[in-house]
Structure 1
Amino acid sequence: LSAPTNMKVVQVFNVAPASESHELPSQTSLPLTFFDILWLRLPPVERIFFYEFPHPTPLFFDTLLPKLKHSLSLALGYFFPLAGHLTWPFHSDKPIINYNTRDSVSLTVAESDADFNHLAASDLIEAKEIHHLIPHLTISHEQATILALQLTLFPNRGFSIGITSHHAVLDGKTSTSFIKSWAYLCRESSSSLPPELCPFYEREEVVKDANHLGAKYCSDWLKQGGPNNRSLVVWDMQVPEDSTRGLFKLSRWDLEKLKQYVLSKNKGNTNLRLSTFVLCVAYVSVCRVRAEETKNKSFVLALNVDCRGRLEPLTPANYFGNFVGARLATVETKKLLAEDGILVAVEALSDALETLKDGALTGAENWSSLLLEGFNADARIIGVAGSPKFEVYGNDFGWGRPKKVEMASIDRTGAFCLSDCRSGDGVEIGFVSNKEVMEAFASLFVNGLQS
């Protein structure tokens, strides 16, 4: 067990957007699209970036902190809606993001006596050990802040950046683009972003809602605890006791071995997708089902699919907001537990992703119902969050790449989180369960690759 942690809050800053190159609007509002509304009351997404900084404390407060604050203000000048609030006024049929010139983002600066090397290592750790590094959004029934940040110094060792973002405003692509932009402006001591990092705000042009999905999702949320429940309070999902976090790595060589194994077991299925994503999710799913000794009849993987580039008109990669669809890969648990479980998982994932050919929004009319009502069947449902394409380990603020990046919020949802690796070789997978399951998973994960 780690020693109890003492943390002191040094100061809380309110950082407002600023720009040296363009004029900021005095006020603006962005209506949520159906892609956003789907996530309205889901818990915020929490990420923590750990950076080594083996230098005296004054250097952090005199040099790093002013630079991080200044570049944050400039980054918010491009991503100004993040300083605003989410509201759902009675006169509006859908929730909206409101931004005014006086708005700002909360930046907490703290010091912790926790063991930095322990928290930033890739060993199993208790989930609650990193909770003090996470900032919180201010959410009431009437309005919600969108972004909160926390810088925590571990004297003479390193620091962490905790970022909490509202899921109804930002998907993983947009939230990681914001961090990438902040890191760029800080590292380059620049006041302007390259075009590919500048967010694209024109929603009406690219999000076509011919099937009135926004109205359907709003109606479903209004009925939750309703009628006409416009509350913005998010679901209170608790972190189970004895929750343990783990990060596991699949190198390119590991992925190539898995690919050859699947090909050797395949009996003529020509529709197999053997992408890094499919191989990775298939392997960790089989390890998890075995480690958890899952008793449910079926196992369901809820996949997030980036719809940028999949719909007409084509959406720019730098679109601001949620643009994620869903696909479900369902398989009988007993088949995953069988000897060729990895092939079975690859087939299920391939079949689910194959339906994207019918259109990324196929089945979208059911997404809110599935989210709110779940499955009637006897199923174990696991989400898959994150993506190696977000390149979270590329976020260098000028003092080196992160030593470790955690998606803290998966301890509430039970999802897998995928990311790139610090070394650039392969994929990192994070997930949280009880200690016994995590130890069994770690053993299965390593032994499976060796065999």
Structure 2
Amino acid sequence: MEVIYSCLVGRENKEIANTITTLELNPWDLRLLPIVPIQRGLIYHKPHSQNIISHLKNSLSRTLNSFPPLAGRLSATHHEDGTKSYFVDCNNSGAEFTHAVAAAVSVSDLIGPKYIPEIVYSFFPLENLTNFEAISKPLLAVQVTELADGLFLGCAANHAVVDGTSFWHFINSWSEISRGLKTISKTPVFSRSIEPVKVGGHSNHLPPPMVETPPLLRKVFHLGKESLTKLKNKANSTGGSDKISSYQALSALLWRTINMHTNVNSEEVDFTLIVGARSRIGWDEGYFGNAIYTAGTSLTRHELLQNGIGYAAVKINELVKQQTREAAIQNFEDSENRAFIRKWPSFLIIGSPRHDVYGNDFGWGKPVAVRCGRGRNVDGKITIFPAAESGGVDLEVSLAADKMVAMEDDPEFIAALAH
């Protein structure tokens, strides 16, 4: 791969009326400061346009008119008591835009192999950074890599400023502007109803140390709509319920499958749920920032592995039911809860089948695939995306080689994948 150039792209209109100048970080934002940026990449067949790079750069600038924080920088106010308050200075320092060429790499080289090839990760910006480092780095970075017969649009955004919903809100809006819309369909909401949150320093936010993991394999598994329906019906029938959703049934399957092939010393096996809080609290769906937190439950290994998918799915369903408006507000206000993840679970599901991934037509058609950046090198990380066809999902799974092979051969998991 060859980098042609890299530059900073600011808002096209630097004097937008009523634009925000600062964006305070809320407690959920602050808990993500030590985590790495969100990295997602869209793969397209080769556009026919000859001016695609300049077109994307110009449309990015116009889109930033509606998202001033993403053209800004992270900043901190130092207080006399030794604490700090973090905020986004919407100073229009600019997002990073990189044009690269990988002329020897084709679309099939990226999506055809059994496992995701390492070269994919060279197409993402903001590698090997934490969100803390955005005080001197852009909050948003884009790398457009021209392939032999396609295009890879790699995007990275500071996770202390956006969650997955806000990230895809921006990408969706950029694609709208790129294909000629004058205004975006969903306006971001930047209002904050909190006072600046003081923190004592990095140590209050640091996640637990990561256990060094072996080299990981990454693979995309697909479940169609029919497969998910069968899985949901199985979980409800065996769990004696009619309330288990497809997502809960899928989560139960993954909880069982991963732990079936994981050697752990603890008898307890944890399940960590990433909870979306916008609808629970009553915030606007266009709220720009983090509106997520984690909640957890556990079973003994014997309970999880011997009682079937319905038992695990009911446990997850009960955890979801506990995430009321009051529970979300309590988590938001919990000043002692300084880490997004208190301990690394045996596996973690991130992403959402509700994000609009395949609607991102920048003017030359929809993407053919989506991929994640390297992010934290975590054994057991599973990212869920909607599939290209309606109703299905894709799972990008990162596992140690022995666990990946075991997962590929697991009878229950194989049966769930079958149509």
Asked if structure 2 preserves the Cα contact closer than 8 Å seen for 1:122 and 1:247, the reply is no
Rounded Cα–Cα distance in structure 1 between residues aligned with 2:70 and 2:146? 24
- Given candidates 214, 217, 222, the residue that maps to 1:244 is 217
Rounded Cα–Cα distance in structure 2 between residues aligned with 1:99 and 1:49? 27
Q: 2:35 corresponds to which letter in structure 1?
A: L
- Correspondences of 1:168-317 after superposition (within 5 Å): 168-187=160-179, 189-194=180-185, 197-204=186-193, 214-215=197-198, 218-219=199-200, 221-223=202-204, 240-267=213-240, 273-294=243-264, 296-311=266-281, 314-317=282-285
Query: Residue 149 in 1 paired to residue 142 in 2?
Result: yes
Query: Residue 106 in 1 paired to residue 96 in 2?
Result: yes
Q: 2:296 corresponds to which letter in structure 1?
A: L
- Given candidates 158, 161, 166, the residue that maps to 1:166 is 158
Indicate how the Cα distance of structure 1 residues 254 and 295 shifts in structure 2: closer, same or farther if over 3 A, else same. Answer: farther
Q: Classify the secondary structure of the residue corresponding to 1:309.
A: helix
Rounded Cα–Cα distance in structure 2 between residues aligned with 1:219 and 1:20? 34
Structure 2 partner of 1:230: none
Structure 2 partner of 1:347: 314
Indicate how the Cα distance of structure 1 residues 299 and 386 shifts in structure 2: closer, same or farther if over 3 A, else same. Answer: same
- Correspondences of 1:402-421 after superposition (within 5 Å): 402-409=367-374, 412-413=377-378, 414-421=380-387
- Given candidates 119, 123, 128, the residue that maps to 1:133 is 123
Asked if structure 1 preserves the Cα contact closer than 8 Å seen for 2:31 and 2:339, the reply is no
Residue identity over aligned pairs, in percent, reads: 24
Query: Structure 1 length normalisation: TM-score?
Result: 0.81
- Given candidates 296, 301, 311, the residue that maps to 1:333 is 301
**Per-residue CA distance 1:140-167 (angstroms, 9 max, x = gap):** 4954421111001112x11111111111
- Correspondences of 1:40-119 after superposition (within 5 Å): 40-53=33-46, 59=49, 62-91=50-79, 93-101=84-92, 103-112=93-102, 113-119=104-110
Query: Structure 2 length normalisation: TM-score?
Result: 0.87
Q: 1:108 corresponds to which letter in structure 2?
A: T
Rounded Cα–Cα distance in structure 1 between residues aligned with 2:367 and 2:115? 18
**Per-residue CA distance 1:50-80 (angstroms, 9 max, x = gap):** 111176xxx5xx3211221111111111111
Asked if structure 2 preserves the Cα contact closer than 8 Å seen for 1:9 and 1:111, the reply is yes
Q: Classify the secondary structure of the residue corresponding to 2:286.
A: coil
Rounded Cα–Cα distance in structure 1 between residues aligned with 2:9 and 2:293? 33
Q: Classify the secondary structure of the residue corresponding to 1:319.
A: coil
Asked if structure 1 preserves the Cα contact closer than 8 Å seen for 2:238 and 2:309, the reply is no
Asked if structure 2 preserves the Cα contact closer than 8 Å seen for 1:388 and 1:427, the reply is yes
- 1:306 Cα deviation after fit: 1.4
- 1:235 Cα deviation after fit: 9.7
Q: Classify the secondary structure of the residue corresponding to 2:39.
A: strand
Asked if structure 1 preserves the Cα contact closer than 8 Å seen for 2:96 and 2:138, the reply is no
Indicate how the Cα distance of structure 1 residues 47 and 96 shifts in structure 2: closer, same or farther if over 3 A, else same. Answer: same
Indicate how the Cα distance of structure 1 residues 9 and 143 shifts in structure 2: closer, same or farther if over 3 A, else same. Answer: closer
Indicate how the Cα distance of structure 1 residues 75 and 141 shifts in structure 2: closer, same or farther if over 3 A, else same. Answer: closer
Question: Higher mean Cα deviation, 167-176 or 110-119?
Answer: 110-119
Indicate how the Cα distance of structure 1 residues 236 and 69 shifts in structure 2: closer, same or farther if over 3 A, else same. Answer: farther
- 1:382 Cα deviation after fit: 2.6
Query: Residue 425 in 1 paired to residue 391 in 2?
Result: yes
Question: Higher mean Cα deviation, 174-183 or 134-143?
Answer: 134-143
Indicate how the Cα distance of structure 1 residues 292 and 237 shifts in structure 2: closer, same or farther if over 3 A, else same. Answer: closer
* Structure 2: unaligned runs, 5 residues or longer: none
Asked if structure 1 preserves the Cα contact closer than 8 Å seen for 2:231 and 2:246, the reply is no
Asked if structure 2 preserves the Cα contact closer than 8 Å seen for 1:255 and 1:276, the reply is yes
Rounded Cα–Cα distance in structure 2 between residues aligned with 1:239 and 1:48? 26
**Per-residue CA distance 1:391-446 (angstroms, 9 max, x = gap):** 21221112221111122245524422111001123111112012232222123222
Asked if structure 2 preserves the Cα contact closer than 8 Å seen for 1:43 and 1:237, the reply is no
* Structure 1: unaligned runs, 5 residues or longer: 1-6, 226-233
Asked if structure 2 preserves the Cα contact closer than 8 Å seen for 1:309 and 1:317, the reply is yes
Report how many residues are paired.
407
- 1:370 Cα deviation after fit: 5.5
**Per-residue CA distance 1:273-324 (angstroms, 9 max, x = gap):** 411221111112222222335554222222111111212xx31110111111
Q: 1:13 corresponds to which letter in structure 2?
A: C
- 1:335 Cα deviation after fit: 2.2
RMSD over aligned CA atoms reads 3.0
Q: 1:256 corresponds to which letter in structure 2?
A: T
- 1:373 Cα deviation after fit: 5.0
Indicate how the Cα distance of structure 1 residues 316 and 427 shifts in structure 2: closer, same or farther if over 3 A, else same. Answer: same
Asked if structure 2 preserves the Cα contact closer than 8 Å seen for 1:297 and 1:333, the reply is yes
Question: Higher mean Cα deviation, 349-358 or 81-90?
Answer: 349-358
Structure 2 partner of 1:228: none
Asked if structure 1 preserves the Cα contact closer than 8 Å seen for 2:248 and 2:316, the reply is yes
**Per-residue CA distance 1:355-401 (angstroms, 9 max, x = gap):** 123532345528735647538xxxx4432211111121221112221
Rounded Cα–Cα distance in structure 1 between residues aligned with 2:227 and 2:183? 40
Indicate how the Cα distance of structure 1 residues 349 and 181 shifts in structure 2: closer, same or farther if over 3 A, else same. Answer: same
